[in-house]
Chain A
Amino acid sequence: MPSERYLFPHRHLLGIEPLSPRDITALLDQARAFEEVCERPEIKIVPALRKRLIVNLFFENSTRTRNSFEIAEKRLSAEIINFDADTSSLSKGETLVDTAMNLESMRPDLIVMRHAAPGAHALLARHMKASIVNAGDGAHEHPTQALLDAYTLRKRFGRLEGLRVAIVGDIRNSRVVRSNLWLLTKMGAQVTLVAPPTLLPPGLRDTWPGITLSNDLDATLPSQDAVMMLRCQFERGTGAYIPGQGEYARFFQLNAARMGRCRPDVAVLHPGPINRGVEITSEVADGPNSLVLQQVTNGVPVRMAVLFLLCNPHGEQVP
C-alpha cells in the first residue's frame, strides 16, 4: 500500500494552490478516519492533539467556519484560545506582525486565521514558528471549504476525476470558488463556471485553462453531476454587478423548474450561508438532491485532518 510511505510535506495550509493531488488525496483519506470519530455513538474525542495549543485568530466574522474549526480542535483534544479581533489590540492600532509576534511569544502550535487581506497568512507564516491555517482570506482562498466540498463530492460519487461540476453565481466575489477551482482541476474534474458576464472576472482561463465559462445556466445543467451554488455576496458589493435580485434569480437561481433540467441524481451544494430565494430556493436547498447539511457535517472531520497533519512533524518540507 503506497500510502504508508507517504508523509504530508506541508507545514502550513495557506491555500489549495500549493498542494499536489497526492496531498489532497491524503487530506481526504485522513478525514475518513476522523469521520468515524465524529460518528461514534459516545465518545467523539481522540487524544491526538493533546497538549497542543491552537489559536483561532479571526479578523473577519465567521460563525460557522469558526465553530467548525473549534469543534474539530476539541475533538482532537487540543487546547484552544479564541482571539477576537474586535476586542484585541488591533482596535488600538497594533499591526498584524506585532500581533503575530505577541502570539508567537506564547508558543502556539498552530494558528487558524481569517483575514481580509490575501497576503496576511503568508506574512504570518514567515514570522512565526507555528503552523498557519487559512480560514479564508478576502476573495482569494478558503482551502478548508474546498476540501470539505471535495470530500462531500467524493463521498457521494466515489471519485473526483472526470466529475462534471458547475459552479454557479457570484464568481467575482467568492473565495470559495478559487480554492475549488484549484482543487477540482488538480483532481481532474471538469469544471464549468456559470454567471452573468459582470460576475465573471477576466483572466480565469489564463489560470485554469481547462475550465468552461458560460452565461447560460439552463444549457449547462443537463450535463452536470454536481451543481455548486455560490452565495451572492451583497456585503461585498455584488448588488452593483447585477440589475436586481429578481432579474438575477430569473436566470441564475436554482429552483424546482431548473432541477427538472438536471440529471435525477445531481448533487446540489452550497457553501452557506444561503440567501434563500436569491441564488437557490428553499425547495431545492432542503430537497432530496441537496448535500448542504452534509457539507457542514463533513467540515469537522476535514478540518480535523488538516489540523492533525499540520500539527505533527513533517516529512520533506515544502514551504
Chain B
Amino acid sequence: MPDTPSPCLLDAGQMEVHLQRLCREIVAAFGNNESLALVGIRTRGLSLAERLAGMLQEILQKEIPLGALDITLYRDDLSELAGSPIVRPTEIPFSLKGHTLVLVDDVLFTGRTIRAAMDALLDHGRPNRIWLAALVDRGGRQLPIQADFMALKLEVPLDQRVSVKVKEIDGVDGVFMETRV
C-alpha cells in the first residue's frame, strides 16, 4: 500500500506530460543522427527509462537500446549503510562503444548516485558521451554534476524528501514531497 504522502508535486497526468516533454527535448538535442541508448538507474530510474525508450522508439521509429544499472557496488557510502542491501544485476545488453548514452534517474539530489553511475558505466565500456536526464532536480548538490534534461527544478529544504512513484513498483504515478524521518 502506498504511504499517504503530501503534498503532491506532480500527479499521474502531469508526470506523463513532463515525461513527454523530456522525450521531445532528447529528440531535439540528438535528432536521428546519433546512436542513442538509455540506461536507467535501478529502481525507479529504470522504470522511467523504460517509458522514455518506448516514447523515443515511437517518435524516432527505431530501436532504442535500454540498459539497467545498479550502482550499489559503486556507492561512496557503502560502508555507512545501515545494512547490506541485496544488489541486483546490472544489465547492459549492448556495447556502449559509439553510443550517446542518456542516463536516467528519478530525482537528482547530491549528485553522488550519478558519480557512482558514471564509474559503473565506464567499467562496461567507453560511450561517446553521457548525458543525464532526471525527472526532478531538487537541488542540494554535493558534487559538480548537473542534469542535461529535467522536468522539474526545485530548491527543496534538506529535511524534505522528494519521492517519485511509478505504477510498476508503487502502484501509482506521481511526485511527492515528504518530511524525512
How far apart are A1's CB and chain B's nearest CB, in angstroms?
A: 7
The answer to whether A33 and B84 touch (CB under 8 A), given A42-B123, A46-B73, A46-B123, is no
B79 beta carbon closer than 8 Å to chain A: yes
List CB contacts (< 8 Å) of B67-125 with chain A. Answer: 70, 72-74, 78-91, 119-120, 123-125
Taking a contact as CB atoms under 8 Å apart, the answer to whether A312 and B84 are in contact is yes
B143 beta carbon closer than 8 Å to chain A: no
List CB contacts (< 8 Å) of B125-143 with chain A. Answer: 125
A32, A41, A309: the one contacting B84 at CB < 8 Å is A309
List CB contacts (< 8 Å) of A15-55 with chain B. Answer: 26, 29-30, 32-33, 35-37, 40-43, 45-48
How far apart are B132's CB and chain A's nearest CB, in angstroms?
A: 21
B169 beta carbon closer than 8 Å to chain A: yes
Q: Across the interface, which residues of B come within 8 angstroms of A312, CB to CB? A: 78-79, 81, 83-84
A313 beta carbon closer than 8 Å to chain B: yes
The answer to whether A7 and B84 touch (CB under 8 A), given A43-B123, A312-B79, is yes
Give the nearest-CB partner of A51 in chain B.
B79
Taking a contact as CB atoms under 8 Å apart, the answer to whether A33 and B83 are in contact is no
A4 beta carbon closer than 8 Å to chain B: yes
Taking a contact as CB atoms under 8 Å apart, the answer to whether B79 and A33 are in contact is no
How far apart are A151's CB and chain B's nearest CB, in angstroms?
A: 14
Total interface residues in chain A, CB < 8 Å: 28
Q: Across the interface, which residues of A come within 8 angstroms of B83, CB to CB? A: 7-8, 312-315
Taking a contact as CB atoms under 8 Å apart, the answer to whether B123 and A36 are in contact is no
Give the nearest-CB partner of B119 in chain A.
A47
A3 beta carbon closer than 8 Å to chain B: yes
A30, B84: Cα distance in complex, Å: 10
A237, B22: Cα distance in complex, Å: 71
Q: Across the interface, which residues of B come within 8 angstroms of A309, CB to CB? A: 84
A182 beta carbon closer than 8 Å to chain B: no
A37, B89: Cα distance in complex, Å: 8
Q: Across the interface, which residues of B come within 8 angstroms of A157, CB to CB? A: none
B72, B73, B84, B169: the one contacting A1 at CB < 8 Å is B169
Taking a contact as CB atoms under 8 Å apart, the answer to whether A40 and B85 are in contact is no
Taking a contact as CB atoms under 8 Å apart, the answer to whether B87 and A33 are in contact is yes
Q: Across the interface, which residues of A come within 8 angstroms of B81, CB to CB? A: 312-313
B78, B85, B89, B125: the one contacting A4 at CB < 8 Å is B85
List CB contacts (< 8 Å) of B22-78 with chain A. Answer: 70, 72-74, 78
Taking a contact as CB atoms under 8 Å apart, the answer to whether B89 and A33 are in contact is yes
A7, B81: Cα distance in complex, Å: 11
A150, B92: Cα distance in complex, Å: 26
Q: Across the interface, which residues of A come within 8 angstroms of B86, CB to CB? A: 3-4, 6, 8, 26, 29-30, 33
Q: Across the interface, which residues of B come within 8 angstroms of A45, CB to CB? A: 123
Give the nearest-CB partner of B169 in chain A.
A1
Q: Across the interface, which residues of B come within 8 angstroms of A8, CB to CB? A: 83-84, 86
Taking a contact as CB atoms under 8 Å apart, the answer to whether B78 and A48 are in contact is yes
A252 beta carbon closer than 8 Å to chain B: no
Q: Across the interface, which residues of B come within 8 angstroms of A40, CB to CB? A: 123-124
A308 beta carbon closer than 8 Å to chain B: yes
Pick 17 A–B contacts, CB within 8 A, sort by A.
A32-B89, A33-B70, A33-B73, A33-B89, A35-B89, A36-B91, A40-B124, A43-B123, A46-B73, A46-B123, A47-B73, A308-B87, A313-B79, A313-B83, A313-B84, A314-B83, A314-B84
A-to-B contact residues, CB < 8 Å: 1, 3-4, 6-8, 26, 29-30, 32-33, 35-37, 40-43, 45-48, 308-309, 312-315
Beyond A33-B90, A42-B123, A48-B78, list 11 extra A-B contacts (CB 8 Å): A35-B89, A36-B89, A36-B90, A46-B120, A47-B74, A309-B84, A313-B79, A313-B82, A313-B83, A314-B83, A315-B83
The 9 A-B residue pairs with the shortest CB-CB distance in the complex, in nearest-first order: A7-B83, A36-B89, A312-B84, A48-B73, A46-B73, A43-B123, A33-B87, A315-B83, A33-B89
